[in-house]
Amino acid sequence: MAKISAATLTKVNYKQIGLWLIIGLLVFIVLFPFFWVVRTGLTSPRALYRDTSSLLPVDPTTDNFARVLGILDPNRLIETGAPNISAGTLNFWLYVRNSLIVAGSVAIGQTLFSAMAAYAFARFKFPGRDKIFLIYLTGLMVPGIVLFLPNYVFVRQLGWIGTFQGIVAPSILMSPFAVFFMRQFFLSLNRELEEAALLDGASAFGVFWRIALPLMAGPLLTLGVLTFINSWNDYLWPLLIGRDDSVRVLTVALGIFREQTPQGSPDWTGMMAAAVVSLVPTFVLFIFFGRRVVDSVQFSGFK
Amino acid sequence: MATTLNASGSGAKSSGGLLSKITNNQVILGYLFILPSFIGFSLFFAVPAIRSVIISFHQWNLLSDAQFVGLENYQTLISDARFWDSLRITLTYVLWNIPLQTLLALGIALLMERVHNSSFLRSIFIIPWLLPNVVVGLLFLWILDPTLGIFNNFLQAIGIERQPFVGSPDQAIPTIAGVNIWRHTGYTAILLFAGLKTIPKGLYEAAQIDGANGWVQFRRITLPLLRPVLAFVLVTSIIGSFQVFDTVSIMTRSAGPAGASRVIIYYIYEQVFARRINMGVATAASVVLFLILATVTLIQIRYFRAGRSDLADYS
């Protein structure tokens, strides 16, 4: 008896060990690029070619970060003999600010207005309600590019090329997914509290604002975080609308930085430092809300 | 009872319920609450979807007035070798991207199910999906650099020749597909994992008693019951895959070596920006893409009978 269980134990152990080895490898594949981008960002541009396999930064320095944030004049580095440096002054602070303005306003606007619509679809009765909701859902199926071109024309006619309004306009008022997401949660909400508040003489908007929304703080936060990250990551639309410096968001700035760096010998240390800067907000959000994001992904599989 | 205002109810009754005192206001309130989203939807979803089709029948450079040309833009597309190339390249990309990614994700999902409490693992695996495509593109451009990239150093160390990756016409598309597999597999695995969780454990136990081995259980229980989620994953990831642009535009320049990475969206982008502005041809190409995606989606929904779960057959 003891012999058998020992044998099963070793068999299980081998299986478990194999399983964990595979998982370890997968985690390594996922995380290594992040380590490598930080390592390169901290490497001195003069020393980059000296050892391209060293796991630690070669001749560590924060110059690259200072350079992409506009704190250090790149020409001073070029004078010290650093090769392959983009001479143009970079100001990623400005692009961080622009990205925060765009992603922040889209996250707040889209979440709030979509929640309002979702509440109406879940709670009020009015003619055409279900039809309108269904039409919203078809919006999920139209590929982005079909909308981008006429939207570009429309924003151009409004004179909003190169403005924040132009960049946020298509996404600040709603997204079909956000409406759908919030409606599901409002439908599952017990309406007794809302009815009690109405009985006490609260207005319908007051009930929505002071009762339904606070009860939905969790899903709202999740939706807000997802919307923020999506908007932060957007590239093609802001590239069409906002190449100008004053409204250029981080992704577009990175793309232009990449275009301007010489073909044969790109400014790797600068680009990697800039990439790290652009990842900071995502990681902060991930640390606080990672679990929520995972849960919402699981939710979206069942819509 | 409180069912008065149930949203799913076309057959909802209008009697009773404490909310009924604002029933008269419900119509106005309802419209007020959906007003902002309705404006957004009309201006930036509904109208442009229709306008896209209208523009595709015109010749228009945005500077002078649009001229109706009928189907001419579509004829231009049909006779443009670059357009056909872009379709072929996009399809090649999708064929590299989707099967590998889905199989890998299915493997990882099954793996996560075997591990006790994998919520930490899921959090790790979701990270790549949260990153901007632009950053992912830059990151791998550096890691895969022909002369300096760490991955090529690694290949050399284990005795394989250094590869040009995005620098070569043959490798550009598979490489970009690989990079996007890195970004999306974790996300896909989490979706499939959630699907696996819905399969009743009792089915496996019953199968075990009947002597079915692991492979048979996978074929006869896991795959059929995972079908709705698998269909959802395939439909959304194929639609996304056909629209690849960001990583292509970052990792290769002007459609890559010998135009090897001119995917369909890049072709459209060129019609508007890189060359003479040609809104008509650009929108015509986007309409063609939409038709392709709609067809592919319909076929999949038919094939997978996506709305129905086989679970019903067991209960």
pLDDT tens column, A36-62: 999 999 998 888 877 788 888 888 888
pLDDT band at A263 (very low <50, low <70, confident <90, very high): low
Nearest by CB to B41, from A136, A169, A199: name it.
A136
pLDDT, residue A174, reads 95
φ/ψ of B3, rounded to 5, equals: -85, 0
pLDDT, residue A76, reads 72
Cβ of residue A241 closer than 8 Å to a chain B Cβ: no
Residue B46 scores a pLDDT above 80: yes
pLDDT, residue A290, reads 86
Where is pLDDT greater, at A129 or A206?
A129
Cβ distance of A297 and B187 shorter than 8 Å: yes
Residue with tokens 């901290």: A42
Cβ distance of B249 and A145 shorter than 8 Å: no
Q: Which of B36, B133, B29, B126 is nearest to A111 (CA)?
A: B36
Nearest by CB to A149, from B45, B272, B294: name it.
B272
pTM: 0.88
Residue A288 three-state SS: helix
**Chain B residues within 8 A of A33 when measuring between CB atoms:** 139-140, 143, 182
Where is pLDDT greater, at B305 or B129?
B129
**Helical H segments across A213-267, by residue range:** 213-215, 217-233, 236-241, 250-260
pLDDT, residue A138, reads 87
Tell me the range of A194-198, A257-261, B127-131 where mean pLDDT is highest: B127-131
Residue A244 scores a pLDDT above 60: yes
What are the tokens at B210?
Answer: 């009947």
pLDDT, residue B9, reads 37
What letter would DSSP give residue B67? Answer: E
Interval B181-190 mean pLDDT: 95
**Chain B residues within 8 A of A168 when measuring between CB atoms:** none
**Three-point CA angle B87, B89, B90, nearest 5°:** 65
Report percent pLDDT > 90 for chain A. 49
- Choice among A76-80, A113-117, B147-151, B212-216 with the minimum mean pLDDT: A76-80
Percentages (nearest 5) of helix, strand, coil residues in chain A: 75, 0, 25
Cβ distance of B268 and A26 shorter than 8 Å: no
Mean pLDDT for chain A overall: 87
CATH code of the domain occupying B81-314 = 1.10.3720.10
- Choice among A127-141, A247-261, B5-19 with the minimum mean pLDDT: B5-19
Cβ of residue B272 closer than 8 Å to a chain A Cβ: yes
Cβ of residue A164 closer than 8 Å to a chain B Cβ: no
Q: Does domain A92-260 have CATH number 1.10.3720.10?
A: yes
For B273, name the nearest residue in chain A, comparing CA atoms only: A240
Residue B19 scores a pLDDT above 60: no
For A226, name the nearest residue in chain B, comparing CA atoms only: B130
pLDDT, residue B309, reads 59
Cβ distance of A154 and B48 shorter than 8 Å: yes
Interface test with A, best of B38, B44, B148 (most A CBs within 10 A): B44
pLDDT, residue A194, reads 87
Let me know: does B175 contact B166? Beta carbons within 8 Å.
yes
Cβ distance of B297 and A141 shorter than 8 Å: yes
Per-residue pLDDT tens over the stretch A88-140:
667 888 999 999 999 999 999 999 999 999 999 998 889 999 999 999 988 88
Cβ of residue B267 closer than 8 Å to a chain A Cβ: no
Question: Residue B72 corresponds to which amino acid?
Answer: E
Question: Residue A121 corresponds to which amino acid?
Answer: F
Q: How far is B7 from chain A (nearest CA, A)?
A: 5
Reported ipTM: 0.88
**For chain A, where do the domains classified as CATH 1.10.3720.10 start and end?**
92-260
Cβ of residue A151 closer than 8 Å to a chain B Cβ: yes
Where is pLDDT greater, at B21 or A12?
A12
Q: How far is B195 from chain A (nearest CA, A)?
A: 8
Mean pLDDT for chain B overall: 87
pLDDT band at A171 (very low <50, low <70, confident <90, very high): very high
Residue B105 scores a pLDDT above 80: yes
Q: How far is B190 from chain A (nearest CA, A)?
A: 6
Cβ of residue B291 closer than 8 Å to a chain A Cβ: no
**Chain A residues within 8 A of B5 when measuring between CB atoms:** 123-125, 191
pLDDT, residue B253, reads 82
Where is pLDDT greater, at B278 or A61?
B278
pLDDT, residue B313, reads 53
Cβ distance of B132 and A121 shorter than 8 Å: no
Question: Residue A216 corresponds to which amino acid?
Answer: M
φ/ψ of B59, rounded to 5, equals: -100, 125
Cβ of residue A230 closer than 8 Å to a chain B Cβ: no
Nearest by CB to A27, from B49, B124, B249: name it.
B124
Domain range list for chain B: 81-314
